[in-house]
Structure formats: structure tokens, C-alpha cells
């Protein structure tokens, strides 16, 4: 079963706007990671947030984590056409067998 | 930079054929993973390996087997390909299993079509 569920499934915005994607999960986690996938390619790691952290920044990326609601959000500020991709959250379960479980992804399209 | 390579970007096979998908990583990672990716289902783990000759089933191991004879190489085998195995297959590697803070590095993927 999928641990992570991204919302929305698809998002289209104008270049320069901010894009926000959400992820919900079901069990306790050690950390949550966000990955990006360009069309037809492998996934690339973007950012990791630990279960005891609430917010993390990396360049134009901002990730928040609310463990009480079992949810995370990824904000991309000042979007660019090159940000067009699918974005996945992945959770590392606290009492699981420590493999990452991926969500179904959000397809982001930046309109030039 | 970590590099994970997969033997083919595209493969076309016939039902019943034996299919080998190869994955090689160059960073001496202990852990390697095979996923399949299907629209609307995200990435699902097929098998993973935490050491040479060691393997564990993931969420959807049926119809697949794996081989890890050398640390850098992890092979996915479809003993008798079926049309429902048409998918994108992604290999990944990771430095540690416990500790749970290490990034997974992905290969470019193999798009398999079974006719």
C-alpha cells in the first residue's frame, strides 16, 4: 500500500508563481524526503526533513512537516519552466523495515 | 557524484521470454533497490538487497527474482514475462539501511514493453 499520498495530482501555474504540493502519510516516520522526476527519467533527491524538524529550506525549496497531522508540504518559490516535473514524497517508516515508501506524485507544469 | 546506470533505456519483449534488467552503481553502496512505476500507482518496491547475495522481497515480488553476485550490480529477472509487467523499472542505491537518513540515487529507468 502507498504510504504517501500527494495532493494535488496535477498542478499548472504561470512562471514566476509559487507552487505548493502536499503529502500525507499514515505511520510514524524517521524522515520524509522529496524527489523530483523529469519526464521519462529517474528520480533525483531534493530535500530531506527529519521527524523532529518542522521546516527546512534549500534554495527556492521550502519543506514543512507536521507530524501531528502526518503531512508535509513542498513549496517552490518563483517557479521556472525548468521546474516542470513530477514531485514525489517518500517516507522512511519509524518501525518498518526502513525502506522508503513513495507516494503517487504531483505532476507540476510551469507555463512560460 | 553517484552514478547508477541501467543496461537499457527501452526494451521490447514477447510474452513468456526471460528478461534480465541490469543495474550498476559506482559508489560502493551496500543497498540496492528495484522499483516499478505505473501511472496512478507511483513507485512500488519489487525487491531490495542490503549486501552481496542478500535479498528481501518488497511490496510486489510476484513474477520477479533478483541476483546480487557483486556489490555494484543488482539484476532483476522476469522468469516468464507477461503483459502486466509492461512498466517503467527504476533501480536505486543507498549507502546505509539503518539510520534512515541517506538519499537514494536512481538510475535513468528502463521502459519495458511486453507484447
Task: Give per-residue pLDDT as tens, B55-95.
Answer: 999 999 999 999 999 999 999 999 999 999 999 999 999 88
- Residue to mutate among A31, A43, A97, with most B CBs inside 10 A, is A43
How much is the average pLDDT of B32-43? 92
Flag whether pLDDT at B49 surpasses 90.
yes
CB contact under 8 A, A30 and B33: no
CB contact under 8 A, B104 and A45: yes
| All cell numbers assigned to A39 | 519526464
Q: Considering just the CA atoms, what is the radius of gyration of chain B in Å?
A: 13
Cβ neighbors of B110 (< 8 A, separation 6 or more) are B6, B7, B8, B9, B10, B11, B21, B88, B89
Residues in A whose CB is inside 8 Å of some CB of B read 1-2, 4, 30-31, 33, 35, 40-45, 48, 50, 88, 90, 92, 97-105
d(CA A5, CA A105): 7
Exposure string of A10-21, with b = 16+ CB inside 10 Å and e = fewer, is ebebeeeeebbb
Nearest to B45 by CA among A86, A50, A9, A92: A92
pLDDT tens for each residue of B89-115:
999 998 865 554 568 899 999 999 999
Amino acid at each position: 500500500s502507498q504510504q504517501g499520498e500527494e495532493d494535488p495530482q496535477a498542478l499548472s501555474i504561470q512562471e514566476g508563481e509559487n507552487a505548493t504540493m502536499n503529502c500525507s502519510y499514515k505511520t510514524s516516520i524517521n524522515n520524509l524526503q522529496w524527489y523530483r522526476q523529469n519526464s521519462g527519467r529517474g528520480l533525483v533527491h531534493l530535500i530531506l526533513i527529519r521527524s523532529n524538524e518542522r521546516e527546512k529550506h534549500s534554495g527556492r525549496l521550502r519543506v514543512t512537516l507536521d507530524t501531528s497531522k502526518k503531512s508535509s508540504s513542498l513549496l517552490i518559490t518563483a517557479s521556472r519552466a525548468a521546474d516542470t516535473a513530477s514531485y514525489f514524497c517518500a517516507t522512511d517508516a519509524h518501525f518498518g523495515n526502513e525502506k522508503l515508501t513513495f507516494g503517487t506524485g504531483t505532476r507540476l507544469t510551469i507555463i512560460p | 557524484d553517484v552514478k547508477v546506470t541501467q543496461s537499457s533505456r527501452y526494451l521490447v519483449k514477447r510474452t513468456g521470454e526471460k528478461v534480465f534488467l541490469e543495474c550498476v552503481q559506482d559508489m560502493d553502496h551496500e543497498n540496492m533497490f528495484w522499483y516499478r512505476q505505473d501511472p496512478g500507482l507511483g513507485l512500488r518496491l519489487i525487491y531490495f538487497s542490503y549486501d552481496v547475495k542478500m535479498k528481501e522481497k518488497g511490496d510486489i515480488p510476484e513474477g520477479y527474482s533478483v541476483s546480487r553476485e557483486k556489490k555494484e550490480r543488482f539484476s532483476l529477472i522476469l522468469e516468464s514475462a507477461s503483459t502486466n509487467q509492461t512498466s517503467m523499472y527504476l533501480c536505486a542505491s543507498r549507502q546505509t539501511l539503518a539510520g534512515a537518513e541517506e538519499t537514494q540515487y536512481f538510475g535513468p529507468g528502463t521502459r519495458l514493453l511486453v507484447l
